[in-house]
Amino acid sequence: MTLTSILPTLRDSLPSPFDREVWPARTTPTLDDVVVAGVSLLRIVDLCATPCVYTGAAVIPMSGGVVSSTDSTTVVVARIAETDAGSIRLDATFRLHAPLWREARLLGRVSHAYEQPFSVLDANSGAVSGVVRIPGDPRVGDLVAVPCPGCFSVGDVRPSRGR
């Protein structure tokens, strides 16, 4: 439990904490964005639409932030396509990846709603991909960023055309 979880209005002045070891090296959270090596994820969405990915060097676990020369971490930014009381459907699919849902962040707006768990539904199959804790007022069109270990391309998370 963090201060921004207990008092959501603090999100106006404090970025929600995150685990630096699971995001790409040189990642910094802001109030409504995540900046990776000086590049805003919101700007990447402006340029590339969603879903989109950004891959960077991983951080060696328990090293205090030492950058790995061999491992990568990819951040997927997806848009909420549908939402209901207990689930959200993103415009991405995670069938081949291991997203770290505990680190997912809402981008583009600051919410004062208390965090709630939501089942994340796969864009293709509708199956549950995981559970994410985000502010309890998700809206269609909201952006969610989630780190995933490894290196992959946008084609790996783009849903098939049949859906």
Domain boundaries, the chain: 3-151
Q: Are strands 128-135 and 115-121 parallel, antiparallel or unpaired?
A: antiparallel
Both structure tokens of 21? 């070891």
Q: How many CB atoms lie within 10 A of CB 27?
A: 21
Fold of 3-151: Lyase, Ornithine Decarboxylase; Chain A, domain 1 (2.40.37)
Tell whether pTM > 0.75.
yes
pLDDT given at position 85: 85
pLDDT tens series, the chain, 163 aa: 778 888 888 888 888 889 999 999 999 999 999 999 999 999 999 999 999 999 999 999 988 889 999 999 999 999 999 999 899 999 999 888 899 999 999 999 999 999 999 999 988 888 888 999 999 999 999 999 999 999 999 999 998 765 4
pLDDT of amino acid 161:
64
Nearest CA to 116 out of 154, 91, 84, 143 is that of 84
% helix, strand, coil for the chain, step of 5: 15, 40, 50
